[in-house]
A and B are shown apart, each in its own frame.
Chain A
Amino acid sequence: MDALSAFFTVFANPELLALVAVGTFAGVYIGAIPGLSVTMAVSILISFTFSWDVYPAIALMIGIFMGGVYGGSRTAILLNIPGAPSAIATAMDGYPMAQRGEAGEAIGITTVMSFFGGFIGIAVLALAAPTVSDFALGFQPRDYMLLAVLGILLVGSLSGESLVKGIFSGALGILIGLVGMDPLTFTGRFTYDLPLLQSGISFIAVMIGMFGVSEALAQIHHLDTPAIKQKINRIVPSFGTIRKHLPLSLQTSTIGVIIGALPGTGGDIAALMAYDHAKRVTRKPERPFGKGAIEGLVAPETANNAAVGGAFIPMMTLGIPGDAVTAIMIGALFIHGLNPGPMLMIDQPDMFWFIVGALVVANFFMLIFGLTGIKLFTKIVEMPRAVLIPLIMLLSIVGAYAVNNSITDVYWMLAFGVLGYFMRLYGYPLGPIILGVILSRLLDDNWRRAIISEREDLGRFFWGIVTSPLSLTLFIAVILIFVSQTPLWTRIKARHAARKEKATDQ
């Protein structure tokens, strides 16, 4: 019964309740502004809440975390500028909806689905944390590498008009991620002895440039087109809509929890993988993907919020951060005199149940704040473009600077903004670039770790894959997905379908 009372701590304490509410509210806005990140907010809170008790401090951080992960979708839908990396997939179908004047509906679906995903993540954390963390711990470098390869194959579903252009963009993204001093050997890669290149190119700077500045530049073409009037009378999605997407959202939430629980992968990869999954399993979307498919919103939003609960799993059971935010929270627990590690669940089970309770409360507040105040947000899109464009540019600059307090990042951001503008115009998809940057280190580091561990012996490396059930499953998934994207497969499928049609004709 101790667990139960710890779980209800937040519910019963008005002060904690208020802190979670404030955190969630702030989180939505922090998440929505590109360049203000949850990671940043939480690390500032460490000094800010230094003299507080541990419960209020953690309550505030959890609120910001939950709200922030959700908030990224706002600007993705309204402006085609993802507020956070985990909302990149959301923009692909959310923005087309906003262009039809359906921003209200898109935000409504996003909110409800984020709530659903968040809830699944919390449920798994509460009920199966030790099992999931054992599973996550079992991932070897070669498994991470295979996971990265699996991720890179998503290029196919992010490519739009041309797969070749998608592959080019993906490779460019991987390359951008590799620039700088190699962290494993301190060899410079593509640095040309320039200090500008030595610390690498910030992923956030690339993202803000590619999505923020390049979008703002592209919008100059439409300066005189009046802003789209948004219908905001139907925000809460109908029960039928929710029920229809329930099976999909369960699947994508599962993807979110697992990817979130793996140390080294987080909500960004989870959301993209979920988007790809939705594209694969949805037979007949009401609208094609990329043109405003509801499924294209459901998948990434359930996944990235489910990843929040997932990220807490290794943190609570092993003291290992599931992502950047939980890494800072572990630091916060240390500062407050707790010792996060495998013993935390045994020594202080209250802390675990308190966090679960706070997450539940934060999830409810997210639903409330998500469904209210939409009017204000949609007003942003109805602002004159002439004002909006310079503001987006300035926010992009400040945001790029804020990530690492570096002017170099601002230069990179602007350069990628211009490059992104031309790529957009000439039909190169931008999603794969970001995908490549996200997965670059995961792929390179783990490939090298895996092959070093096997003493540079490819035979031993493949033997390792074949003899481990997990690696083998991932390997087969990689091959299946790869084959399904090649022209050969489409031809076989077409022939198969033709034969079937013939059969039904007779």
Chain B
Amino acid sequence: MKHVILGAVSALALSSAATFAQDYPTKEIQGIIQWGAGGSTDTVMRAVTPHAEEVLGGTIVMQNVTGGVGAIALNQVEAGQADGYTLLMGAENPLLYKVMGLGQKDYSDFTPVDILARGTPVLVARADAPFDDYAGMLAYIAENPGEVRFGSTGPGGLPSVVTAMINAVEGEQDVISVPYDGDGPALTALQGGAIDVMPAVLGAAIEGIRAGAMKPLLVFETEAVDALPDVPVATAANEGYNKYLPWGPFFGIFVKKGTPDDVVEKLSAAYTEAAEQPDFTELMDNRGFTLLNLTGEEAQSFLEDWQSTTAWLMQDAGQTKASPEEFGIAKPAE
């Protein structure tokens, strides 16, 4: 035991004397996953990271730090060192923390390593709903105000954004919004008939659609998706959606701002290569995600666009606690 400690101490002395990026990583890397075990962020991160470990030649220990819609994990990584040994594995939510009053920090305090993939929102209805398509749904809502139940996942979640888009494009819809813990439980409730319509991410709904347990009404994309070639796209249903789409929840890996550039580059290279592995791309296809694999400048501008579109959409829908303007979030170009 003594030898080990002595060895370790001398190893430490050596490594701190020479913190060059070519040595990185000299110790294990922590990956903090923003969401709980079994969630889609968790699944994606645990699927891509083993490949990245191989490229990197190091160990990445992943742990789930949940709570505060991911803010606890974000703050934990932000409080750590900017040395590239703590990665934040997260989703889109932090970009809305400021306007939703959930926290003072977001991805502007981080450097993106890799924006892995983006999901496609799709509007689904329960199998025995009294309408079969998007136009039918709008007509039914108009005829039966306050009767149709939309599932939601709380303010700032995908359903609230999509519902805000529908309201912005089609005019205010008189529906009941029933909150659930996530799109999984909400889609379960949809199949049980507790709610009528649910805006969900394609990957979560695809198997239910294939089995006929739920009806797809509209895909929120500008072009038809491979998984659902016959389902109309939002921009065809109403040109007003062009203003917002393409839009979708995303997954990304981040390090604290101030991490040496060469470390970020090394990490980015590892994750880019990892995300190109056939079994990962297959997983993304199966779950209906669009692979992005964005790094550097591209990733940065993706984040800014996303934040500006979504924050202002929520602001116009009256769902924010503070205006995006206060945080210098630019209004999207008309």
Q: Identify the A interface with B (CB < 8 A).
A: 39-40, 42-43, 46-47, 50-51, 137-141, 180-181, 183-186, 195, 198-200, 263-264, 314, 318-321, 324, 327-328, 330-331, 334-335, 337, 339-344, 346, 404-406, 445, 448-449, 452-453, 455
- Stretch from B10-18, B64-72, B165-173, B249-257 at the A interface: B64-72
Instruction: Determine whether B287 belongs to the interface, using a CB cutoff of 8 Å to chain A.
Output: yes
Q: How far is the CA of A133 from the CA of B102 in the complex (A)?
A: 37
Q: Which residues of B have CB within 8 Å of A341?
A: 206-208, 210-211
Q: How far is the CA of A42 from the CA of B211 in the complex (A)?
A: 28
Q: How far is the CA of A331 from the CA of B44 in the complex (A)?
A: 9
User: Once the chains bind, are A340 and B194 in contact (CB under 8 Å)?
Assistant: no
Q: Identify the B interface with A (CB < 8 A).
A: 37-39, 42-43, 46-47, 49-50, 62-69, 72, 75, 100-102, 146, 149, 154-156, 176-181, 184-185, 188-189, 191-195, 206-208, 210-211, 213, 279, 282-283, 286-287
Smallest distance from the beta carbon of B210 to chain A beta carbons, Å? 5
* CB < 8 Å A-B pair total: 146
Q: How far is the CA of A198 from the CA of B192 in the complex (A)?
A: 32
Smallest distance from the beta carbon of A482 to chain B beta carbons, Å? 26
User: Once the chains bind, are B178 and A43 in contact (CB under 8 Å)?
Assistant: no
Q: Which residues of B have CB within 8 Å of A334?
A: 43, 283, 286-287
Q: How far is the CA of A343 from the CA of B212 in the complex (A)?
A: 9
Q: How far is the CA of A457 from the CA of B47 in the complex (A)?
A: 46
Q: Which residues of A have CB within 8 Å of B208?
A: 318-319, 341-342
Query: Can you give 20 contacting A-B residue pairs, CB < 8 Å?
Result: A39-B37, A43-B64, A47-B49, A47-B62, A50-B46, A140-B193, A181-B68, A183-B179, A184-B154, A186-B100, A186-B101, A199-B67, A318-B208, A324-B38, A327-B184, A341-B208, A342-B213, A343-B210, A406-B65, A448-B179
Q: How far is the CA of A40 from the CA of B207 in the complex (A)?
A: 27
- B39, B46, B72, B185 — which one has the most chain A CB atoms within 10 A of its CB? B46
Q: Which residues of A have CB within 8 Å of B195?
A: 453
The residue from B72, B189, B282 contacting A199, defined by CB atoms under 8 A apart: B72
User: Once the chains bind, are A404 and B66 in contact (CB under 8 Å)?
Assistant: yes
Q: Which residues of B have CB within 8 Å of A406?
A: 65, 67, 72
User: Once the chains bind, are B184 and A321 in contact (CB under 8 Å)?
Assistant: yes
The 10 closest A-B pairs by CB, nearest first: A341-B207, A199-B67, A342-B211, A327-B38, A43-B37, A184-B179, A331-B43, A328-B38, A137-B192, A50-B50
Q: Which residues of B have CB within 8 Å of A324?
A: 37-38
Q: How far is the CA of A59 from the CA of B101 in the complex (A)?
A: 45
User: Once the chains bind, are B67 and A404 in contact (CB under 8 Å)?
Assistant: yes
User: Once the chains bind, are B185 and A263 in contact (CB under 8 Å)?
Assistant: yes
User: Once the chains bind, are A331 and B178 in contact (CB under 8 Å)?
Assistant: no
Smallest distance from the beta carbon of A406 to chain B beta carbons, Å? 7
The residue from A42, A264, A455 contacting B146, defined by CB atoms under 8 A apart: A455
Q: How far is the CA of A141 from the CA of B42 in the complex (A)?
A: 27
Q: Which residues of A have CB within 8 Å of B191?
A: 137, 318
Q: Which residues of B have CB within 8 Å of A51?
A: 50
Q: How far is the CA of A47 from the CA of B50 in the complex (A)?
A: 7
